[in-house]
Chain A
């Protein structure tokens, strides 16, 4: 099996609790996985591990054959992450932030890349303003641009729509559609069934640290999926 992304037997123990208990899946190029699950199911942990920020207790992850532990630099170059935090420097301007990150990824002509992305997220007129002065929505748009700075082969999104204003959400949706057309792979963790099902090619449910459901989007009936999802959410509440 040589998928684009392979996750094998992932375990994470955390203060005596098992956040992940053996997660296995593979994604092909161009796949868009929407991952659902009740709170505390280990979604963020899984995303944290794939994004290299959290180290797994055991297990293996590969992107394009680059192993996370053996070739971290090559692995990281493939990644883009959008999280709750903007990861932007408030004291620097929008342009400086993007140029800094683009240079970190050794992007060729970082200035051009930064300007290009600023146009995409429609912040070009404000490129010389410090990020500290930006509104929440603007920061989020900029953090989308930041995540795309290295044209990532794998984009990880943790609840990207939560707290986004409509404008920013529209830009994000647009960008995700474009990534899909460019055969980029995406993993999105979300609670929102509409957003999650709309763009996905695959849907999964993570519950109590296990991947209990993983199907092609087309073979899933939204109504039935909602029932399945709610069953796990209620199960988690009852336990």
Chain B
């Protein structure tokens, strides 16, 4: 992609984000029982989607790395775990903010929140692991393995989190959605916006990390005098 095209995409994403904020705050009706705090839900769910997409990408690039042994996939893996971790943090923060007025408690051991929290731990440990391995190829293998095992763990984490009693509202059940049509539109807009944002972040972060890696290798070769 050329720089110009990059800029256009960024501008489109920014505009889309503004419109998402507009739909959330102006277009979407205020929920009757919960009041304006319900509006946090749109970005809460979108963040969760982005986090999931990221961890899935990390899983896939982990598998691809182990098969191809191409460091390119390691870079994609790190970029996605970074993004995933940021958005999991957002899920947790928005969840907590919403829970305080609605459930009258900051934290509750609800399966979805608990799952997010455990995922946060798993993928945070990814970076601890990363920082404790010097060699590039080893580090890439270890991180790929963690990304794969972590992702396989997700459904089990969710299943086991049901052991904590839930008060999380089930908004989307199979076959029916308990929301006003305007709210659904708003939700779709913010989901779309966040997905675009995710793709953009992943693209740029991957590119930055690739370049950083190249600079590091060049520095090493300069130091070693092998250029």
The answer to whether A binds B is yes
Q: State whether the Cβ of B153 lies closer than 8 Å to any Cβ in chain A.
A: no
> Contact at A17–B137, with CB atoms within 8 Å?
no
> Contact at A17–B220, with CB atoms within 8 Å?
yes
> CB within 8 A of A17: which of B69, B214, B217?
B217
Q: State whether the Cβ of B165 lies closer than 8 Å to any Cβ in chain A.
A: no
Q: Which residues of A contact B224 (CB under 8 A)?
A: 17, 40
> Contact at A14–B137, with CB atoms within 8 Å?
yes
Which of A192-224 touch B at CB < 8 Å? 208
Q: Which residues of B contact A70 (CB under 8 A)?
A: none
> Contact at B226–A15, with CB atoms within 8 Å?
no
| A57, B98: Cα distance in complex, Å | 52
Q: Which residue of B lies closest to A239 (CB)?
A: B225
Q: Which residues of B contact A15 (CB under 8 A)?
A: 135-137, 217, 220
Q: State whether the Cβ of A125 lies closer than 8 Å to any Cβ in chain B.
A: no
> Contact at A239–B226, with CB atoms within 8 Å?
yes
> Contact at A16–B225, with CB atoms within 8 Å?
no
> Contact at B137–A16, with CB atoms within 8 Å?
no
Interface of A, helix, strand, loop or mixed by DSSP: loop
> Contact at A16–B220, with CB atoms within 8 Å?
yes
Count residues of B near A (Cβ-Cβ below 8 Å): 13
Count residues of A near B (Cβ-Cβ below 8 Å): 8
Q: Which residues of B contact A208 (CB under 8 A)?
A: 226
| A101, B136: Cα distance in complex, Å | 32
Q: State whether the Cβ of B168 lies closer than 8 Å to any Cβ in chain A.
A: no
| A55, B137: Cα distance in complex, Å | 11
Q: Which residues of A contact B218 (CB under 8 A)?
A: 16
Which of B181-222 touch A at CB < 8 Å? 213-214, 217-218, 220-221
Q: Which residues of A contact B136 (CB under 8 A)?
A: 15
Q: Which residue of B lies closest to A54 (CB)?
A: B137
Q: Within the complex, what minimum Cβ distance (angstroms) separates A19 from chain B?
A: 10
Q: Within the complex, what minimum Cβ distance (angstroms) separates A190 from chain B?
A: 23
Q: Within the complex, what minimum Cβ distance (angstroms) separates A170 from chain B?
A: 37
> Contact at A16–B217, with CB atoms within 8 Å?
yes
| A39, B137: Cα distance in complex, Å | 22
| A239, B217: Cα distance in complex, Å | 17
Q: Which residues of A contact B69 (CB under 8 A)?
A: 55
Q: Mark B92-127 against chain A: 1 for CB-CB distance below 8 A, else 0.
A: 000000000000000000000000000000000000
| A40, B220: Cα distance in complex, Å | 14
Q: Mark B123-140 against chain A: 1 for CB-CB distance below 8 A, else 0.
A: 000000000000111000
Q: Which residues of A contact B225 (CB under 8 A)?
A: 239
Q: Which residues of A contact B214 (CB under 8 A)?
A: 16
Q: Which residues of A contact B221 (CB under 8 A)?
A: 16-17
Question: What are some 23 contacts across the A-B interface (CB < 8 A)?
Answer: A14-B137, A15-B135, A15-B136, A15-B137, A15-B217, A15-B220, A16-B213, A16-B214, A16-B217, A16-B218, A16-B220, A16-B221, A17-B217, A17-B220, A17-B221, A17-B224, A17-B226, A40-B224, A40-B226, A55-B69, A208-B226, A239-B225, A239-B226
Further 12 A-B residue pairs, CB within 8 A, beyond A16-B218, A239-B226: A15-B136, A15-B220, A16-B213, A16-B214, A16-B217, A16-B220, A17-B220, A17-B221, A17-B224, A17-B226, A40-B226, A208-B226
